[in-house]
């Protein structure tokens, strides 16, 4: 890796970020978080109240990156076959009957799983194989999904009516979980003005899938020094209450901590942050910048933690000290 590659990476990332930001008002940290996870090759879970622009953000990213895009509206009556596809009986030109696999909406570069926690756990689990292996199995056949492939899911807070909690195995397959915050007064005014006067801007293509895969390859070459790698491992280990060096807050309020995928998520996304800062290797500040997004859905509170209203982000802050 040389200085020119780092410079090109930063320039390309900034162009993508700026184009998305010209359509999505505010939410700069959210946009950066989603792009970071996508360049690292992972799926993203966006949580926030309805109407905060989660769906619009995903659509805009699809346009800016010129990726095939499909949207699945998750509802309680959605079936797994509605997501992955199904085999149907067909007749060929010779009149012979046979089974043919009809591909579902999951066969896209970007799959928007809208309000994913409104579907039943059975349907939610239909995405597990796709999110991890980038394949879909139907009967005895396994089908490859297009590359790059991402699931960008939105969910309403669990307190909302008609929601189901995501299975832990599925939560762990999201590289990042990002919270969508409410806009400021100035941002809200700009949003309302642009959407009610017809002056809302359309996103333009900035790069294609080849450039995205190229940026991912560059990010994976960023070295991580042994002390920084050990720091990442310590963060994950300290999220477990049975670990001797875990903070008292973890021992008191956490039921179980992050899986090894949490360490992988921090390592991959910290590399992207290092490149954005123009660095040749991962620094401690890069690790701290991505830790909350990588861990907040992998640390589970016990009953006492939920009863005391402890936020998982507070737990992560205690671990990072």
Residues 11 and 307: their CA atoms lie apart, in Å, by: 46
**What is the token pair recorded at 149?**
């492939």
pLDDT of residue 23: 86
Q: 263 φ, ψ to 5°?
A: -65, -40
Residue 11: other Cβ atoms inside 10 A: 10
| Residue for token pair 């199995």 | 137
Residues 84 and 101: their CA atoms lie apart, in Å, by: 10
Side-by-side strand order, sheet with 174-179: 69-73, 110-114, 150-155, 43-47, 174-179
Residues 67 and 72: their CA atoms lie apart, in Å, by: 16
Residue 284: other Cβ atoms inside 10 A: 14
Q: From its phi and psi, is residue 66 left (phi > 0), alpha (psi between -120 and 50) or beta?
A: left
Residue 75: other Cβ atoms inside 10 A: 14
pLDDT of residue 242: 95
Q: From its phi and psi, is residue 258 left (phi > 0), alpha (psi between -120 and 50) or beta?
A: beta
What residues contact residue 140 under an 8 Å CB cut-off, 6+ apart? none
Domains for the chain: give ranges and CATH numbers: 1-221 (3.40.50.300), 222-321 (1.10.8.80)
pLDDT of residue 160: 58
The pairing of beta strand 85-91 with beta strand 69-73:
unpaired
| Residue-by-residue pLDDT tens, the chain, 321 positions | 678 888 889 889 999 999 998 888 888 889 999 999 999 999 999 988 777 778 888 888 988 998 888 999 988 889 988 999 988 888 777 777 877 888 999 999 999 998 888 888 888 888 888 998 999 988 788 899 998 999 999 887 765 566 777 878 888 899 999 988 888 888 888 888 887 877 677 888 888 888 899 999 999 999 999 999 999 999 999 999 999 999 999 999 999 999 999 999 999 999 999 999 888 899 999 999 999 999 999 999 999 999 999 999 999 999 998
With vertex at residue 37, the alpha carbon angle to CA 31 and CA 38, rounded to the nearest 5 degrees, is 90
Residues 202 and 181: their CA atoms lie apart, in Å, by: 23
Kindly report the length of the chain: 321
């Amino acid at each position: 890796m040389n200085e020119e590659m780092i410079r090109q990476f930063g320039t390309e990332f900034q162009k993508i970020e700026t184009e998305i930001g010209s359509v999505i008002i505010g939410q700069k940290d959210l946009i950066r978080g989603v792009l970071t996870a996508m360049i690292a090759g992972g799926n993203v879970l966006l949580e926030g109240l309805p109407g905060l622009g989660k769906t619009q953000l995903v659509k805009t990213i699809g346009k800016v990156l010129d990726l095939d895009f499909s949207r699945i509206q998750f509802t309680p009556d959605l079936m797994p076959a509605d997501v992955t596809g199904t085999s149907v009986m067909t007749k060929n030109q010779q009149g012979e009957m046979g089974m043919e696999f009809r591909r579902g909406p999951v066969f896209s570069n970007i799959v928007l799983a809208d309000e994913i926690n409104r579907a039943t756990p059975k349907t939610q689990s239909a995405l597990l194989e796709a999110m991890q292996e980038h394949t879909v199995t139907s009967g005895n056949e396994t089908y490859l999904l297009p590359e790059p492939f991402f699931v960008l899911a939105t969910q309403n807070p669990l307190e909302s009516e008609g929601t189901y909690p995501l299975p832990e195995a599925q939560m762990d397959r999201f590289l990042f979980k990002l919270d969508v915050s409410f806009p400021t007064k100035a941002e809200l005014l700009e949003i309302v003005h642009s959407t009610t006067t017809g002056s809302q801007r359309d996103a333009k293509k900035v790069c294609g899938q080849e450039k995205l895969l190229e940026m991912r390859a560059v990010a994976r070459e960023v070295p991580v020094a042994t002390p920084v790698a050990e720091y990442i491992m310590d963060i994950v280990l300290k999220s477990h209450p049975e670990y001797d060096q875990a903070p008292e807050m973890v021992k008191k309020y956490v039921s179980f901590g992050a899986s090894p995928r949490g360490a992988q998520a921090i390592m991959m996304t910290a590399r992207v942050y290092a490149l954005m800062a123009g660095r040749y290797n991962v620094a401690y500040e890069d690790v701290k910048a991505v830790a909350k997004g990588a861990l907040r859905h992998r640390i589970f509170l016990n009953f006492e933690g939920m009863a005391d209203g402890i936020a998982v982000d507070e737990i992560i802050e205690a671990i990072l000290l």
